[in-house]
């Protein structure tokens, strides 16, 4: 199955099993806006909780806030978003489709990267353990040729972006003979800058005085509250402020499902440090964040760091954590060293001091900032696309297929399904009594409809890690069967031990301790 087909299947699975619906569907939807269904909201909340625990509860020098979406519009002038938060856009004159010029170039570079990856794969298959990847990458003529091409494109692109040379970007697209991915046409317009912020009116007077922006990132709510939080939480630099909240961007090229949305959620943390120590903290948070991702147990080869070629107007170092989504390696999280740019600009524009008095140095300064910024919706897609599996099963000489979401158990929307083997003989009543007790500890689902095999498949499809089956023996020996989603193995346990056993299985304590 091609990656594209696999992605289509994941999208329909999300709809069929109550994870993600297109927004306003009965009115034909709204481009790049989505709603989360009953299972989706549970998964989303569980991801948020895991992030919050790992960032705020586990680090005694990180605290949280929840700032408003609407802010004084001067904030966006100060932060540089009014003037600089632009994407370079280009239209195809034949297909009338609009693209981000930088993404067209990135996708072109990705083709050379894919060629290199393919050559490495071939080498591994041919030479097995003897294969020295480093040496191959440093000496193989094909690899060197492709790498040289990548470096040349990136270099040219960087110069254009640094000089805001939009004509140069168009020339690069033309020279590389990049075609419209949908129509194949190379008939392009010039490249233009397009500001991504949505605006609205606060007062009833429709003039610029009441113009507000929907925040395009949650970070600014943290910067403008820096001193409020520092003083009230009695934190000393270095310390961090974390926030989870909605952000809005008028993404023109919005495809790829919930990967690029107009309304999305970010989980951000700004870590305030002494000037001059920011590189140490940048490395520290890069490591912490990649460990958080890897703690979920998905294939480690699907993650990589990607250093930014063009740094944002506020950064002196920046890297993305990229994940191998069904459409290739793409950013899921950014780690940025933002210098004192934001606090410095807010001092300048507000006229208020945003300094920290460092008792150890006996001096005041504007702290430097290292931020970690992850998109919750992209993280959701990462979890779903890594968990979605179609397995062929052999049983009693027959082949069948099961679709299963192997979501890490502590993130699963439904943790336990309580299933009486049959409805009669008092099994339903017994199962319901167990459900009534368990629902105060876990998110449980009770299901008595259809044959047990079909019920297991339904739970597999939504990713329930444990099915609890109550059978005739349960009435006599007060035990029941736990069926494990991934291995499909079954284990008999005492009803009295169930809560403790399941709490152990679903605990994140040990995972958090290893981060």
Interaction site with ligand ATP (CB under 6 A): 217, 249, 251, 260-261, 264, 266, 331-334, 373-375, 377-378
Closest CA to 515 of 288, 335, 284, 281: 288
**Core vs surface per residue 118-152: b (16+ CB within 10 A) or e:** ebbeebeeeeeeeeeeeebeeebeebeebbebbee
Task: Report, in Å, the least distance between residue 359 CB and ligand ATP.
Answer: 34
Min dist CB 30 to ligand ATP, Å, is 14
Cβ(361)–Cβ(350) below 8 Å: no
Q: Nearest distance from residue 111's CB to ligand ATP, in Å?
A: 18
CB of 249 to ligand ATP, least distance (A): 5
Q: Which helix (H) or strand (E) holds 482?
A: strand 479-484
Q: How far apart are CA 293 and CA 372, in angstroms?
A: 13
Q: Least distance (Å) from ligand ATP to the CB of residue 326?
A: 16
Q: Considering Cα of 201, then 203, then 204, then 207, what sign does the dihedral take?
A: negative
Nearer residue to ligand ATP within complex by CB, 44 or 260: 260
If the CB atoms of residues 281 and 446 are measured against ligand ATP, the closer one turns out to be: 281
CB of 242 to ligand ATP, least distance (A): 14
* 340 phi/psi in degrees, rounded to 5: -100, 20
Question: Within 10 Å of residue 387's Cβ, how many Cβ atoms?
Answer: 19
**Chain residue whose CB lies nearest ligand ATP:** 375
Compare residues 278 and 377 and give the one whose CB is closer to ligand ATP: 377
Comparing CB distances to ligand ATP, the nearer of 193 and 203 is 193
Supply φ then ψ for residue 152, to 5 degrees: -65, -45
CB of 58 to ligand ATP, least distance (A): 22
Q: Which is closer to ligand ATP, CB of 266 or CB of 469?
A: 266
How many angstroms separate the CA atoms of 342 and 348, rounded? 10
User: What's the Cα-to-Cα distance from 8 to each of 1, 13, 166, 173, 330, rounded to whole Å?
Assistant: 11, 9, 35, 29, 18
Tokens describing residue 40: 């989706």
Widest CA span in the chain: 80
Nearest residue (CB) to ligand ATP, 375 versus 420: 375
Q: C-beta of 312: minimal distance to ligand ATP in Å?
A: 8
Q: How far is C-alpha 488 from the chain's CA centre?
A: 29
Question: Measured in Å, how far apart are the chain's first and last C-alpha atoms?
Answer: 35
Which is closer to ligand ATP, CB of 103 or CB of 461?
103
| Shortest Å, Cβ 270 to ligand ATP | 13
User: How would DSSP label each residue in 434-480?
Assistant: HHHHHTTTS-EEE--SS-HHHHHHHHHHHT-SEEEEE-HHHHHHSEE
Nearer to ligand ATP, 86 or 443 (CB): 86
C-beta neighbour count of 346 within 10 angstroms: 21
Q: Which is nearer to ligand ATP, 336 or 406 (CB)?
A: 336
**What φ, ψ does residue 368 adopt, rounded to 5°?**
-85, 160
For ligand ATP, the closer CB: 267 or 480:
267
Q: How far is the CB of 307 from ligand ATP (least distance, A)?
A: 13
Of the candidates 262, 253, 210, 240, the one whose C-alpha atom is nearest the C-alpha of residue 103 is: 253
């Amino acid at each position: 199955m091609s990656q594209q087909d696999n992605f289509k299947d994941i999208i329909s699975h999300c709809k069929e099993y109550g994870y993600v619906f297109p927004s306003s569907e009965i009115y034909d939807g709204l481009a790049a806006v989505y709603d989360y269904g009953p299972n989706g909201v549970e998964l989303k909340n569980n991801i948020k909780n895991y992030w919050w625990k790992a960032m705020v509860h586990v680090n005694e020098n990180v605290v949280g806030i929840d700032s408003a979406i609407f802010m004084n519009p001067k904030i966006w002038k100060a932060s540089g978003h009014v003037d600089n938060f632009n994407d370079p856009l280009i239209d195809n004159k034949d297909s009338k489709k609009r693209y981000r010029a930088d993404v067209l170039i990135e996708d072109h570079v990705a083709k050379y990267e894919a060629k290199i990856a393919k050559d490495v794969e071939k080498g591994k298959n041919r030479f097995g353990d003897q294969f020295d990847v480093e040496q191959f990458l440093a000496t193989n003529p094909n690899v060197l040729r492709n790498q040289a091409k990548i470096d040349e494109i990136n270099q040219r692109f960087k110069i254009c972006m640094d000089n805001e040379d939009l004509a140069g970007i168009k020339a690069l697209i033309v020279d590389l003979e990049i075609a419209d991915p949908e129509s194949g046409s190379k008939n392009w317009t010039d490249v233009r800058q397009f500001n991504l912020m949505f605006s609205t009116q606060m007062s009833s007077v429709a003039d610029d005085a009441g113009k507000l922006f929907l925040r395009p990132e949650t970070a600014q709510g943290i910067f403008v509250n820096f001193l409020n939080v520092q003083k009230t939480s009695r934190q000393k630099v270095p310390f961090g402020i974390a926030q989870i909240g909605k952000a809005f961007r008028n993404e023109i090229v919005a495809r790829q499902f919930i990967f690029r949305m107009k309304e999305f959620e970010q989980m951000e943390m700004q870590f305030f440090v002494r000037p001059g120590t920011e590189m140490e903290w940048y490395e520290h948070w890069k490591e912490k964040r990649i460990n958080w991702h890897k703690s979920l147990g998905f294939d480690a080869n699907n993650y990589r760091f990607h250093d930014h070629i063009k740094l944002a107007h506020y950064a002196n170092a920046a890297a993305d954590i990229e994940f191998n989504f069904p459409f290739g390696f793409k950013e899921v999280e950014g780690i940025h060293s933002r210098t004192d740019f934001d606090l410095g600009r807010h001092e300048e524009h507000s006229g208020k001091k945003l300094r920290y008095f460092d008792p150890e140095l006996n001096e005041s300064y504007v702290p430097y900032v290292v931020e970690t910024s992850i998109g919750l919706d992209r993280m959701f897609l990462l979890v779903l696309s890594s968990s979605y599996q179609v397995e062929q099963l052999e049983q009693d000489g027959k082949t069948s297929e099961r679709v299963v979401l192997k979501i890490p158990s502590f993130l699963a929307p439904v943790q336990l399904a309580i299933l009486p083997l049959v409805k009669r003989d008092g099994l339903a009543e017994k199962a319901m009594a167990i459900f009534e007790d368990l629902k105060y500890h876990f998110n449980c689902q009770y299901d008595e409809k259809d044959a047990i095999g079909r019920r297991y498949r339904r739970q597999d499809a939504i990713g329930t890690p444990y099915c609890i089956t109550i059978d005739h023996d349960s009435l006599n020996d007060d035990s029941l069967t736990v069926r494990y989603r991934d291995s499909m193995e079954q284990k008999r346990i005492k009803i009295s031990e169930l809560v403790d056993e399941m709490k152990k299985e679903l605990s994140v304590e040990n995972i958090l301790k290893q981060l």
